[in-house]
Structure 1
Amino acid sequence: MMTRRLILIEGLPGSGKSTVAQMVSEILKGQGKKVQLFQEGNLDHPADYEGVAFYDAGDFEVLLKKHEEYREVLESNATAYGDGFLIPYRKMREQWGIELPDHIVQDIFSRDIYEISFEQNVKLITEKWQDFAQNVLSTNDDYITIFECCFIQNPLTMGLVKCNQTKEQNMQYVLDLGRIIHALNPLLIYIDQKDISFTFDKAVRERPKEWSEGFINYYTNQGLGQAQGYQGVQGTVQVLQERKRLESEIYDLLQMDKVGLDNSDYDMEVCRRKLEKILE
């Protein structure tokens, strides 16, 4: 019996991923298991990048020349990677207290790993998952790692929502990640919402206005949304429906333990009972 080392929580925005990830962590800890939970936006994510930019060597030099007065700060905080450099710009500001002017941060953000080309993104993210899987397999501790949303959502946000890649390319991206983590015996918990329009409206009502405006803008002004001429809340829901269809197809093809969890009524007690059964 292979030891389970990884649990993946996926679903559309507003479906309850954060809450479910937290519950899974609590249930496993209650069973006496050692758990590490990495939620969306974690700056130390072991298999994803959050607030990190990538520059190839030539472009990095151009950046340093352009912001000569910050050359030393940028050089000392960048990490050589392959034929380029990674700049953890959000960590620099939020954790290390480095004062970077907004115009420099904007400049660096334009090379965020989720802003660069699809091909470059796939390469960097895939390598990060490979490193993560190798690290887990090479250590003897029996931690179960829980990831919220970085396995299906982030690749499709890049491939479908942002870059409007072909269905095959998007599916390939996630299926390749699935193969990389095969030896970790992962469990995928996919949180289903029957009415996407209701789910998104609920998220819009409950979250700050900046979130919904940014989200709608992201989903309709580039990639698939732009290609289809989708607009506003309705257009965003149409992109989400496309994403859901693609996620369902990917779900069916993934070679791993997986379970769908219907959370349409947001009943947390029912949800917890279902999870306890799944995690027995």
Structure 2
Amino acid sequence: MENKLILVEGIPGAGKTTTARKIKEKLLAEGKKAVLYEEGMSHPADMSWNAYLSEEEYNNFLSKCLEMWESSEKTVSKEELKRIVERQVRREDNHIILAYTKLEFPEGCYWNLVGEVAAKEICDGRRSLEEFTEIHLKRWKRFGEEALLDDTVYIFECAFLQNHIFELLGVYEKSDEEILIHLTNLLNTVKSLNPRIVYIEPTDVEKVIMKAADERRAPNESRKDWIDEIADWISNNNYGRKHGLKGKEGVFAFCKERLRIDKVMIKNLGIPVTLISRD
């Protein structure tokens, strides 16, 4: 059986997005159906950069957006504004999953409301580990069952190793053994899809990160550069505080630990892995 689920993984800046897009292009060129879910998109299994809202919480957010439209420049109609929000919505188990970072608001004023839904994520320690685990297992299981109904090949970028290890290591400070159990449980829900990991392994962690940092500079001074945002996240999570990780050196140290754990997981998860070395 062919791989119906391809998990593209690697440390930040390794080239996951580029690789995932090339895999999709290759599959399409071969006449196959392929769908790629990049980081932050409305996702059928992952929850990173997605808010987990009750129907009431979502309706309240949408109402505030429509109220703000009244005093906006009205560059789009009220109906189009509602469609902009609805395009980033998934409805599951009486909850709304909103990919809030992908909202293409016509004017910057609407972003004042985004913090409210960002606080409803289940990542970054905003929910308990039990909720984080339970919601993901439920979503991965549903995805695995639904993906069997067609002949599409699904490609996930960073939704398996990166997003889960970031959380389990950075926020909850879990051991290798505990992380392996968590990831094994996730894989068991999609085993019927014959998943394969495509892993991009850097020969020089610091070089890869600094190259990504140079490419991802903020367009203006109103935002922090990518490397500074990553450094802030690492220095403020439980693992970073415990080990005194700060600045670029903290990012290097955290990503080297990530790479070590990735290798342990790849060795012990028991699924096919394609390794791509990047210098």
Alignment TM class, shorter chain as reference: 0.7 to 0.9
Q: How does 1:107-256 map to 2 (within 5 A)?
A: 107-115=116-124, 116-117=126-127, 118-137=129-148, 139=149, 141-209=150-218, 210-256=225-271
When the two structures are aligned, how many residues end up with a matched partner? Answer: 252
Are residues 1:90 and 2:87 paired? no
Q: What's 2:46 paired with?
A: 48
1:35 Cα deviation from its structure 2 partner:
1.2
CA distance in 1, matches of 2:217, 2:102: 25
1:7–1:89 CA distance, 2 compared to 1 (3 A): closer
Structure 2 counterpart SS, 1:164: coil
Distance 1:98 1:162, change over 3 A: farther
Q: 1:92 to 1:242 in 2, by over 3 A?
A: closer
| Matched residue type, 1:146 | I
Partner Cα separation in structure 2 for residue 221 and residue 149 of structure 1: 22
Is the Cα–Cα contact under 8 Å of residues 100 and 117 in structure 2 kept in the other structure?
no
| 2:10 is aligned with 1:5 | no
Deviation at 1:256, TM superposition (A): 1.4
- Separation in structure 1 between the aligned mates of residue 100 and residue 204 of structure 2, nearest angstrom: 35
| TM superposition shift of 1:120 | 1.3
RMSD: 3.1
Are the aligned partners of 2:2 and 2:194 in contact in 1 as well (CA < 8 Å)?
yes
Q: Is the 8 A contact 1:93 1:100 kept in 2?
A: no
Does the 8 Å CA contact 2:38/2:157 hold for their aligned counterparts?
yes
What is the CA-CA distance between 1:231 and the residue it aligns to? Answer: 1.0
Identity over the aligned pairs, expressed in percent?
27
Q: Say if 1:16 and 1:93 are closer, same or farther in 2 by CA, change over 3 A.
A: closer
Partner SS, residue 94 of structure 1:
coil
Is this contact kept in 2: 1:175–1:254, CA < 8 A?
yes
Whole-angstrom CA distance in 2 between matches of 1:9 and 1:143: 17
Alignment partner, residue 19 of structure 1: 18
Runs of 4+ in 1 over 6 A off after TM superposition: 77-80, 97-100
Measured against aligned partners, the alpha-carbon deviations of 1:169-200 in whole angstroms (never above 9, x if no partner) come to 32222121122111101111111001111111
Cα distance change on mapping 1:89 and 1:205 into 2, 3 Å: closer
Q: Cα gap change, 1:98/1:132 in structure 2, threshold over 3 Å: closer, same or farther?
A: farther
Scaled by the length of structure 2, what TM-score is found?
0.78
Residue identity in the other structure for 2:137: T
Residue in 2 that maps onto 1:272? none
